[in-house]
Structure 1
């Protein structure tokens, strides 16, 4: 809006802005001093404007009294680096098979470039209010201690169940959230930004599915909400229609009947585990949509698919 904008238009815009803020007040009060864990997907992170907008929205959450914690993915960025290095990737049920070479590249990308860039964007967005992003790895202070993931699948010809070795892929067995809690409860306005890397009891480094890592951390923090941002609008039924809300039992049924497949399986499994661990509700929503997290938290309409007990 410029000085040449008619006074009536400026007044209408000002009124609409004030009305939006007033309508958001009950929702702001609902989440005051509550923890909200946000899983930010790698696809959305690839667009700079989208990433900057996301960072600004996270800063806004902090400024209105919410404790946001960001856990990020980086699948597309890892794939791009693997392609450059000539390393071939294979996926099983949405999880990347990770050998030693893949693990080294995954840690370099996730804990390095992706993590620090996202923390920097949050710091830049919050510089006037001194809100600062802090980049962490799940290896820091043993945030994530993992156990090796074991998957099975049927041979297409013999139909015999076979064990699939995913390599250095782990599931969080223990989550020590003390460092994260210290950061979000401090007088300074820190926003933890966590890369999904962990260690097993022997100290070996493991890749963790970012959805799984975020859900485990949300459970450990007893988050009010766990927002799982991805590149689809939410969970679909068998006819391809968006499901706005479901229970844990509904989610389990989608997996059992095969309606949910591929990368949606670990998302739903994560949502189920997070709710069972004490998260009030999980929302799977499209991170590419402008201000998706604000629309979900501060409006009646919400976004995506909400999963609760």
Structure 2
């Protein structure tokens, strides 16, 4: 049998043909990808992720990477003997912790991802919300209910922020120059203090500001699962409220889906929650009919 009729080669060709309509649909559009979790610590998955991002750029899509780094920040704080305190899953960030977060996120992790993309044949530029006044943060405030008195009190999380304003010009300039923006979730506030922003929240706000075709949240689960453990592939905000009400959605998935809903209601076409531990899951989601995660669309 000649190589031209090798079933494996024909399958590869058929896969490319099947992907063609999706490549045409998204050519020139922007995808914002939040990268983090356990996939970030696995060299093989990191290589797959970088190859996926470079491939997206090669077929005319403009990927924008926003990365986390909570475990790495925690490890550095532990090395330095700094105790971490959490409230509702958010790290209480004093001035010392904020400095460490910026060092780890804008420094080590950001440049490591830029390096992975370079090794995969792409060109990336490491940025943070500080660069070019890209993001202005506001301080996050939270309330907690006292279990004894049932009275709510304001909890000070320190230098934890959320995006208040986003200027997309730096991101667009980098993308138009043929490079891939890789953004650390650090930004200044009106008080010029440095704030640490949850990476999901940062990615969602950037996706909305850019009018992105897709926001991808790479997580450590397959997506949103029903009570039997089956993947829910397509959700609307009303579905999410119902599933939250009956307890199907709980824990850390709630803020992720809130981020997705905010993004799609503010200008992003659709958001996807999918498993970053699965090799090339993002390509399967984008370029196949079946998809690979949970798609969230407005109304």
- TM-score normalised per structure 1: 0.92
Q: 2:19 aligns with which of 24, 31, 45?
A: 24
Comparing 283-292 with 240-249, greater Cα deviation is found at: 240-249
1:52 Cα offset (Å):
1.0
Native 8 Å contact 1:42 1:77 kept in 2: no
Q: 1:160 aligns with which of 151, 155, 173?
A: 151
Q: 1:266 aligns with which of 250, 255, 279?
A: 255
Q: 1:133 aligns with which of 107, 111, 124?
A: 124
Q: 1:95 aligns with which of 73, 81, 90?
A: 90
Change (3 A) 1:287 1:168: same
SS at match of 2:211: coil
Native 8 Å contact 2:110 2:126 kept in 1: yes
1:281 Cα offset (Å):
0.4
Distance 2:14 2:90 in 1: 44
Native 8 Å contact 2:3 2:9 kept in 1: no
1:196 equivalenced with 2:181 (yes/no): no
Comparing 41-50 with 236-245, greater Cα deviation is found at: 236-245
Q: 2:35 aligns with which of 34, 40, 55?
A: 40
- TM-score normalised per structure 2: 0.95
1:305 equivalenced with 2:291 (yes/no): no
Distance 2:113 2:217 in 1: 16
Distance 2:94 2:248 in 1: 30
Unaligned 5+ runs, structure 2: none
Native 8 Å contact 1:35 1:67 kept in 2: yes
1:252 Cα offset (Å):
3.2
1:3 alignment partner in structure 2? none
Distance 2:90 2:105 in 1: 16
Root-mean-square deviation (CA), in Å? 1.7
1:207 equivalenced with 2:207 (yes/no): no
Unaligned 5+ runs, structure 1: 1-5
